[in-house]
Amino acid sequence: MKYIFTLLSIFFSLNLLSQNSELLNELDLVLSNKKEYSLKKEAKLDSLKLEVEKINTLGKGWERYQILLQIADEYARYKFDSAFNYSKQAIDLAYQINNANAIAYTKSKFGHLLVSVGLHKEAIDTLNSVITSHLKNEQLQDYYGYKVRAYYDLADYINDEYYAPSYRKMARSNVDSLLKYKQSETTKPVMTKAIRFLAEYQLDSAAYYYNYTLKNYHTTLHDEAMIHSCLGFINIEQGNTNEGRDHLIKSVIADVQTATKEAISLIVLANYFYNHNDLERAYRYILKAKEDALFFGSKQRLLQVSEVLPKIEGATLLATEKSKEKATRILWVLAVVAFVVIVLLMIVYRQLFDLQKIWAVINNQNKELKQLNTELQEVNKIKEKYIGHFFNTSSTYINKLETISKSLNTVLVSNNTQNLKSILRSISPKKERDQLFHNFDEIFLSLFPSFIEEVDKMLDADKKYTLKPGQILNTELRILAIIRLGIIENETMSQVLGVSINTIYTYKTKAQNRSSLSTELFFERLNQIKSV
């Protein structure tokens, strides 16, 4: 059972991490498209301004007033200077058309605008100057809501033991007034209750009303931004940091989508990531919060940013310095490693260079061995052929000698000189030598079938050999054949061929003169002729 609970806890933890990751990704996506939301806001404002310019004729003051008030509302959370300017125009026009309700309502909204930039005294003076009897019931709900925020914000700003309690007491009395005029379909009464409990640090009660509002009312994106911002604060205060962070993220997303520049959620979220050592996000978010505060023109928000930004910048600089020191240490280590590697590479290169030399020698020796093997194989073939021929020839001559010996014995016994002459006539050294050369030629060409063609390739075109009918090799080719077999001594060749040394030299010279090749190249090419 214990293992099942462990597995379930791991599953829910992983699921929570996945949701957090999705929320952060959504936030970063929304922030990357922040400019587009601002452009939509600007486009809407430009459209309203064009309508104001069109309504310039007398008798249309009310229509002009309504559009000016709408422009002021659009600017209220976007850009203070413009909101201030259009609110003043709307108030002036309300006086011009002498509409008491418009004057009271516009002044109450103007007081609320002043609260957003921290002009608490001016805001309360403006709200107190409103003649409440000129407001409708649904407008009174908003009016008292504005006063609630004004007094609670002033109490938080002063935050002392003397004035702050009295301002909180006045805020509570305005909550009671608001509840007298509450509109059942609106979120204002419920959210005002939540604000009261939050201001009194009754966090559970505040969280209940905020969650109740989300579940039971149709809320705008701006309402959701406010609710999630407060729920984020409550959860973080109660130690539910993950839930608190998620509420803050949702609040920031809603603020960006409504192009709200007067917001605190991004500042709080940046501070959250600072406290949780995610300095990259903290620094990125606080810079965006500063950008919004500068754009909106709120000294109060800039003051809040200035409380968070320095410590984030300091931590970021410290982390950067540590990273630089770490990077420096790593660079030194890498430099040492690189030096060692270079030394090792030089040693290895030297060894490889020596090995290449050795391999070159081995390759040359292998080539020489291959060449020697080829030559040995060729020599073996030649030996096999000519040893076989030697034994055949020797056997033939032994048989002939045996026959002659018997014939001579018979002649000697019979003393028949006529038979002796006949026997001597049957012996022909020239015929035997010609037969020897014929056999030599046949065996040689069986070993070197392309010999004549290869020799002709070395000769000049008009000096190639032409053999007589029935002739296998002539004397010159035979001498070249003997040289190809490795017999180069003129004396040996003269004995084999039965001619003088001068004759051998003459034939060799004639053969060489048939070619334009040098003597060395001629005999080198001759010895390169391959056997079968």
Between 78 and 9, residue with greater pLDDT: 78
Return all residues near 116 (Cβ < 8 A) that are at least 6 apart. Answer: 76, 77, 80, 262, 298, 300
pLDDT, tens digit, for every residue of 5-51?
A: 333 333 333 343 444 678 999 999 999 999 999 999 999 999 999 88
Who has greater pLDDT, 354 or 249? 249
What span, in angstroms and rounded, lies between the C-alpha atoms of 68 and 99? 15
The domains of the chain are located at: 33-259, 429-527
Quick check: 439 and 393 in contact, CB under 8 A? yes
CB atoms within 10 A of CB 73: 17
Question: Which CATH entry fits the domain spanning 33-259: 3.90.25.10, 2.60.120.1310, 1.25.40.10, 2.60.40.10?
Answer: 1.25.40.10
Confidence of residue 496 (pLDDT cuts 50, 70, 90): confident
pLDDT at 143 over 90: yes
Which has the higher per-residue pLDDT, 471 or 381?
Answer: 471
Confidence of residue 4 (pLDDT cuts 50, 70, 90): very low
Mean pLDDT over all residues of the chain?
83
* SS3 letters across 81-114: HHHHHHHHHHHHHHHHCCCHHHHHHHHHHHHHHH
CB 72 within 8 A of CB 90: yes
pLDDT on residue 321: 80
Q: How many CA atoms lie within 13 A of 439 on its CB side?
A: 18
Residue 70 has pLDDT above 90, yes or no: yes
Whether 141 and 182 have beta carbons less than 8 Å apart is answered as: yes
Residue 491: Cβ within 10 Å count: 9
Has residue 467 got a pLDDT over 70? yes
Please determine, for residue 522, whether its predicted confidence score (pLDDT) is greater than 60.
yes
**Lowest mean pLDDT: which of 153-162, 207-216, 393-402, 492-501?**
393-402
Residue 129, classed as helix, strand or coil, is coil
d(CA 108, CA 117): 15
- Which residue type occupies 495? Q
% of residues, the chain, pLDDT over 90: 31
Residues 224 and 247: their CA atoms lie apart, in Å, by 10
- Please say if the pLDDT value at position 417 is more than 70: no
Joined together, the tokens standing for residue 237 give: 């205060």
* Spatial contact of 87 and 110, defined as CB atoms under 8 Å apart: yes
- 158 or 8: which leads in pLDDT: 158
- pLDDT above 70 covers a percentage of the chain that reads 85
Q: Which residue has the higher pLDDT, 337 or 234?
A: 234
Q: How confident is the model at residue 416 (pLDDT cuts 50, 70, 90)?
A: low
- Give which of 105, 40, 50 is closest to 78, Cα–Cα: 40
| Residue 532 or residue 292, greater confidence | 292
List the helix and strand counts (H, then E) for the chain. 22, 0
- Give the pLDDT score at 381: 62
Report residue 381 CA to chain centroid gap.
Answer: 65
Half-sphere exposure of 446 (CA within 13 A, CB side): 12
pLDDT attached to residue 405: 63
Stronger pLDDT, 123 or 334, i.e. the higher one: 123
pLDDT band at 426 (very low <50, low <70, confident <90, very high): low
- Residues 6+ positions from 146 with CB-CB distance below 8 Å: 108, 109, 111, 112, 115, 127
* Structure token pair of residue 22: 């999705």
Average pLDDT, stretch 403-430? 68
Place of tokens 């209750």: 193
Give the residue-averaged pLDDT of 385-407.
Answer: 60
Q: Which residue has the higher pLDDT, 410 or 105?
A: 105
- pLDDT confidence bin for 388, thresholds 50/70/90: low
pLDDT band at 131 (very low <50, low <70, confident <90, very high): very high
Is residue 409 packed enough to be buried (19+ CB in 10 Å), middle (13-18) or exposed (0-12)? exposed
In this prediction, residue 390 carries a pLDDT of 53
If you average pLDDT over residues 287-298, what whole number do you get? Answer: 89
CB atoms within 10 A of CB 296: 25
Question: Using one digit for the tens of pLDDT, what is the confidence trace for 329-385?
Answer: 888 888 888 888 888 888 877 777 777 777 777 677 777 767 666 666 666 566 555
Greater confidence (106 vs 327) lies with: 106
Rounded mean pLDDT of 254-272?
Answer: 90
- Does residue 478 have a pLDDT over 50? yes
**Torsion angles phi and psi, residue 468, rounded to 5:** -75, 160
348-374: b or e for each residue (b if 16 or more CB lie within 10 Å)? eeeeeeeeeeeeeeeeeeeeeeeeeee
Confidence of residue 402 (pLDDT cuts 50, 70, 90): low
